[in-house]
């Protein structure tokens, strides 16, 4: 009887297994390519949809006048110095003009300067340009927040309160650079390193303001001391100007007052931008206050040409700044922690929101400005980057608004408010 050889049996088995594997592989490849085609189709559809949305937002941006939107809100900006507040002012400026809203605008141009007057101090010293209503819709001026109750003397109840903070180390460097304080000190042989070793002495000795700005006998020469906390309302609490971390940690009274200050910020300020996470902050702000993407499109405004960077400082030098700006450090850390918790609990795709804002802003930037986008000019205090309008941008009022500097905005708003009040 004939018996197949073992090799023949092996061959048959191997061939059979090979055929099965090939069949399965072909099926898997078909499934893979089918899924790949579906994914590619979805991606292409999403890409086209996003592109269409960007163009829609761009067209919306170009219609920046005479809007009759239903979701009109009142805003008060706690305007921290060198913490992206000029960019935020520009957002509110465009929003207000788009909806025909009124602005808090004192008659004196001095109210645009860097000093920690309270909101009511500013109003009482420099009477406001009258509004056709009893209150005002928007406030973007430099003034010190002092609680909802006093704010409602000029703003409606329910006004949305927000602000911005920045790491005190880079914020102090930016203010120092922008205000050209370094130039004053250099004339006296004092470097930035010298300044941060004894900021209280050098501030009192060399930094001063014109007499007409000292109307309220505030310690204006301490503008670099916890600068951000000052505008968030620190002066309402029993903390002597000029105290540092060492004195604070040795005083339970100071610590209790700081806790009260931070608790009020938590309680009354609805949202605080983190300058180091600005685009994410803007995306959350847009969703929180139900604004259009075109409303929050933005460019960098009022940015100084930097002479110092954080990387140039040693850990010891950074610690000296924290010693001097310790309350700002506590405020920043608290707001940063709050921001991170908020991010972790979002019920929407933050990356998508960021992408739409970035691409909308880029589309507007390409249309409104020249290919280089920026040019360097001499600002009020130091050289700054100025947006360079294209030929199309020079003809378009919406482009002009989104690129205007703070001093231009204040001048325009004063003129508009005066014209409006004359026709009430």
Residue 215: pLDDT band with limits 50, 70, 90? very low
Average pLDDT over all residues of the chain: 81
At the topology level of CATH, where does 70-422 sit?
Answer: Rossmann fold (3.40.50)
Dihedral of CA atoms 241, 112, 97, 151 in degrees, nearest 10, equals 30
Residue 416 has pLDDT above 80, yes or no: yes
Instruction: Please check whether residue 391 is in contact with residue 400, taking contact to mean a CB–CB distance below 8 angstroms.
Output: no
Residue 211 has pLDDT above 50, yes or no: no
At 133 the pLDDT is: 73
Residue in 258, 251, 254, 242 with CA at minimum distance from that of residue 323: 242
Residue 351: pLDDT band with limits 50, 70, 90? very high
- Count other Cβ atoms within 10 Å, centred on residue 226: 26
Where do the domains of the chain lie?
A: 70-422
d(CA 308, CA 326): 21
C-alpha distances (whole Å) from 261 to each of 34, 252, 367 are 60, 14, 44
Q: What string of DSSP letters covers 218-241?
A: --GGGTTSSHHHHHTTGGGSS--T
What is the mean predicted confidence (pLDDT) over 220-224?
61
Q: Which of 61-65, 126-130, 400-404 has the lowest mean pLDDT?
A: 126-130
d(CA 97, CA 64): 8
Residue 210: pLDDT band with limits 50, 70, 90? very low
Residue 358: pLDDT band with limits 50, 70, 90? very high
Residue 118 has pLDDT above 80, yes or no: no
């Amino acid at each position: 009887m004939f018996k197949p050889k073992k090799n023949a049996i092996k061959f048959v088995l191997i061939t059979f297994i090979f055929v099965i594997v090939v069949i399965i592989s072909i099926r898997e490849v078909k499934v893979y390519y089918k899924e790949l085609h579906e994914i590619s189709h979805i991606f292409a559809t999403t890409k086209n949809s996003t592109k269409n949305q960007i163009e829609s937002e761009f067209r919306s941006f170009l219609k920046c006048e005479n809007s009759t939107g239903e979701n009109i809100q009142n805003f008060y900006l706690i305007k921290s110095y060198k913490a992206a507040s000029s960019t935020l002012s520009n957002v509110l400026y465009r929003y207000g003009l788009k909806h025909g809203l009124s602005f808090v605008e004192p008659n004196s141009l001095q109210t645009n300067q860097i000093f920690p007057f309270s909101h009511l101090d500013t109003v009482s010293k420099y009477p406001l340009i009258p509004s056709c209503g009893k209150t005002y819709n928007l406030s973007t001026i430099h003034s010190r927040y002092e609680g909802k109750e006093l704010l409602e003397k000029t703003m409606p109840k329910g006004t949305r309160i927000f602000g911005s903070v920045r790491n005190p180390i880079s914020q102090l460097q930016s203010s120092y650079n922008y205000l050209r304080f370094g130039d004053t000190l250099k004339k006296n042989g004092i470097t930035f390193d010298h300044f941060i070793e004894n900021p209280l002495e050098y501030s009192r000795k060399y930094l001063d303001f014109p007499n007409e700005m000292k109307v309220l006998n505030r310690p204006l020469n301490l503008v670099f001391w916890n600068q951000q906390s000052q505008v968030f309302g620190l002066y309402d609490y029993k903390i002597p100007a000029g105290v540092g971390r060492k004195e604070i940690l040795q005083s339970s009274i100071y610590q209790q007052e700081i806790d009260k200050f931070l608790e009020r910020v938590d309680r009354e300020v609805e949202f605080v931008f983190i300058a180091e996470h600005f685009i994410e902050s803007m995306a959350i702000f847009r969703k929180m206050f139900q604004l259009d993407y075109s409303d929050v499109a933005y460019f960098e405004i009022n940015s100084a040409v930097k002479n110092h960077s954080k990387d140039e400082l040693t850990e010891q030098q950074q610690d000296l700044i924290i010693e001097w700006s310790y309350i700002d450090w506590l405020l920043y850390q608290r707001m940063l922690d709050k921001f991170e918790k908020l991010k972790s609990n979002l019920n929407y795709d933050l990356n998508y929101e960021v992408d739409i804002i970035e691409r909308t802003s880029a589309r507007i930037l390409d249309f409104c400005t020249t290919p280089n986008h920026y040019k360097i000019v001499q600002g009020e205090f130091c050289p700054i980057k100025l947006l360079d309008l294209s030929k199309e941008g020079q003809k378009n009022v919406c482009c002009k608004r989104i690129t205007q500097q703070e001093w231009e905005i204040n001048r325009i708003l004063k003129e508009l408010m005066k014209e409006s009040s004359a026709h009430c």
